[in-house]
Amino acid sequence: MGQTMAEKILARAAGKEHLSPGDLISARIDMALGNDITAPVAIREFRKIGIDKVFDRERIALIPDHFTPNKDIQSAEQVGEMRRFAHEQGIVHFYEIGRMGIEHALLPELGLALPGEVIIGADSHTCTYGALGAFATGVGSTDLAAVMATGELWFKVPPTIRLIFEGRPSPWIGGKDLILFAIGRLGVDGARYAALEFSGPVIDGLPMDGRLTISNMAIEAGAKAGLIAPDKITEKYLQGRARRPYEVVLGDADAAVLEEHVWDVSNLEPQVALPSSPANARPVSEVAGTRLDQVVIGSCTNGRIDDLRMAARLLKGKKVHPHVRLIIIPATQAIYLQALKEGLLETFANAEAAVSTPTCGPCLGGHMGILASGEVALATTNRNFVGRMGHTESRVYLAGPAVAAASAVAGHICSPQEIKEVD
């Protein structure tokens, strides 16, 4: 019997020939990540271990992105603790404001997440890097401390659930629509502690930005990881970008999986997740007309250049509805610069949107877009739990950048087909 991608990657990291779901292993970690919320706790726990130096100063990334720019004294102190530790340990990959980006967009962009690797991060959306063919998963701050000290971590090998997307979707369908549809079918715990494996001709045709969006939200179905097999699109993305040698790991055709779902998405409408769960996914036509106060385009889910290009297509020559606040957040400094070169930022400014420096900001209710009681937002972020973006009596809908941009113009949730593009 063969092995899945997840099993083969973990086997190699554990120095084993063969693994099966449920096996307990200790695996070598290729990259470890902490942010301004989780890293300070890990740093304090690391100091308690009594080890002077981290296991490898080039395989740890510390990225203050959640409250960047620092919103208050407490957030400034958190980053200060990270900065002192980074300088003390000689951490190579410490990126602050002006050089940083939202962590799960920045690491792939810098070539720090690679096929066949085992990557952990003290953030639940670390599963993003599965789009590159890595086994990537979120852990707690104490686990991060252990990895910083030893370079290893224990795992229980997860079973695999395979999701196959077939058909010819409409031009408005992107990675966000596919993953919302999948979570809607599976539920928030339908893939609990499983490795989701995304495949099929629709996935094969997605650009890397769309793939990263899909893997990013695997955790919203309860998954341990969300993997996509590397191919020519992956290789092209990594060309001139990869910081380390890597080896592609592919699953075996005869590998046993826990479940397999095959979906034809030819007639799939753009998806919208209703409050207060990503699993409440519905076709946009079912929620069209819902009045909005705020729209956010950005986050580690949909703040990449393809997302901004899609938004600009619909915003060009138009104005944001006077009752709506549109906040656009490029996910990294490089994406910001690319958007500037392409004239996208000018399009956003002319549409009367606010454009931010890279930050998680409103996604977690941190800053730069907090909702008041009774307000309704549509966001390209990954979660819409109660109080996620502000007041517990606010409501958040989730969608891709096309629906978000169109809805910002209309003043209510609508399909991008309803907004006429300007040449």
The verdict on whether omega for the bond into residue 266 sits within 30 degrees of 0, i.e. cis, is no
Residue ranges making up the domain that contains 221: 5-262
In this structure, the answer to whether residues 89 and 214 fall within a common structural domain is: yes
Is 267 contained in some domain?
no
In this structure, the answer to whether residues 119 and 143 fall within a common structural domain is: yes
In this structure, the answer to whether residues 168 and 279 fall within a common structural domain is: no
Per-residue confidence (pLDDT) for residue 421, from 0 to 100: 84
In this structure, the answer to whether residues 252 and 288 fall within a common structural domain is: no
In this structure, the answer to whether residues 258 and 301 fall within a common structural domain is: no
CATH code at position 62: 3.30.499.10
CA atoms within 13 Å, Cβ hemisphere of 126: 26
List all residues 6 or more positions away from 146 whose beta carbon is below 8 Å from its beta carbon: 49, 152, 153
Is 396 contained in some domain?
yes
Is 299 contained in some domain?
yes
In this structure, the answer to whether residues 79 and 41 fall within a common structural domain is: yes
Q: Which of 232, 262, 292 is the last residue of a domain?
A: 262
Is 333 contained in some domain?
yes
In this structure, the answer to whether residues 31 and 139 fall within a common structural domain is: yes
Is 211 contained in some domain?
yes
In this structure, the answer to whether residues 100 and 234 fall within a common structural domain is: yes
Is 185 contained in some domain?
yes
Per-residue confidence (pLDDT) for residue 423, from 0 to 100: 67
In this structure, the answer to whether residues 184 and 323 fall within a common structural domain is: no
Is 123 contained in some domain?
yes
Number of domains observed in the structure of the chain: 2
In this structure, the answer to whether residues 252 and 281 fall within a common structural domain is: no
Q: Which of 225, 240, 262 is the last residue of a domain?
A: 262
Q: Which residues pair with 296 in a beta bridge?
A: 327, 379
Q: Give the DSSP per-residue string, 327-348.
A: EE--SBHHHHHHHHHTTHHHHH
Could you read off the pLDDT tens digit of each residue along the chain, which spans 423 residues?
899 999 999 999 999 999 999 999 999 999 999 999 999 999 999 999 999 999 999 999 999 999 999 999 999 999 999 999 999 999 999 999 989 899 999 999 999 999 999 999 999 999 999 999 999 999 999 999 999 999 999 999 999 999 999 999 999 999 999 999 999 999 999 999 999 999 999 999 999 999 999 999 999 999 999 999 999 999 999 999 999 999 999 999 999 999 999 999 999 999 999 999 999 999 999 999 999 999 999 999 999 999 999 999 999 999 999 999 999 999 999 999 999 999 999 999 999 999 999 999 999 999 999 999 999 999 999 999 999 999 999 999 999 999 999 999 999 999 999 988 876
In this structure, the answer to whether residues 288 and 213 fall within a common structural domain is: no
CA distance 102 to 331: 5
Q: Give the DSSP per-residue string, 348-376.
A: HHHTT-EE--S--GGGGT-SSSPBPTT-E
Is 283 contained in some domain?
yes
Q: Which residues pair with 120 in a beta bridge?
A: 32, 137
Strands 225-228 and 281-283: unpaired
In this structure, the answer to whether residues 223 and 137 fall within a common structural domain is: yes
Q: Which of 243, 262, 281 is the last residue of a domain?
A: 262
